[in-house]
């Protein structure tokens, strides 16, 4: 537990659901602060799909070097994923023991999917026009 005084921690930044293009990079911010300067440092964890990847900034297993955590004992615990791959599409949880946790969804899209989503409306209209010409 971070502090003997309940309520001494507050969120500075919480991660949010994110969309990222395959091959890109993404930062999932996670930071708390304590109102009690004498409190012990928080124990902070990053989980991916329920599996612990980082505990207090240190990998807990053989984690891909594409994953890194900017961690400080004062409450910073940002997760960065570089060269995003399809298997990075998952739920991630930033957990602060004795305080709170936030689960977010990282959605990975290929460049083709992103392009089609962007132009999807235009493609639909063109197909309707072509269909009408053929009738």
Write out pLDDT tens, residues 26-35: 999 999 999 9
Q: How far apart are the first and last CA of the chain?
A: 70
Residue 114: what pLDDT?
Answer: 47
- Which stretches of the chain are DSSP H helices? 111-134
Look-up of token digits 């999807």: 120
- Three-state secondary structure call for residue 41: coil
33 with 75: CB under 8 angstroms?
yes
Strands 77-81 and 31-34, bridge-based pairing: unpaired
Q: Are the C-beta atoms of residues 96 and 10 closer than 8 Å to each other?
A: no
Spans in the chain with pLDDT lower than 70? 1-7, 113-135
Which has the closest alpha carbon to 85: 68, 101, 67? 67
Burial of 24 (0-12, 13-18, 19+ CB in 10 A): middle
């Amino acid at each position: 537990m971070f502090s003997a005084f309940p309520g001494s921690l507050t969120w500075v930044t919480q991660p949010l659901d994110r969309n990222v293009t395959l091959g890109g990079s993404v930062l999932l911010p996670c930071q708390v602060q304590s109102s009690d300067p004498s409190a012990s440092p928080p124990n902070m964890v990053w989980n991916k799909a329920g599996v612990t990847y980082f505990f207090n900034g240190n990998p807990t297993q053989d984690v891909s070097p594409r994953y890194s955590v900017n961690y400080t004992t004062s409450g910073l615990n940002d997760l960065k994923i570089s060269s995003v791959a399809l298997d990075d599409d998952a739920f991630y949880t930033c957990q602060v023991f004795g305080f709170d946790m936030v689960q977010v969804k990282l959605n990975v899209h290929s460049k083709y999917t992103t392009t089609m989503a962007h132009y999807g409306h235009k493609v639909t209209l063109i197909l309707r026009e072509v269909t009408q010409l053929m009738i």
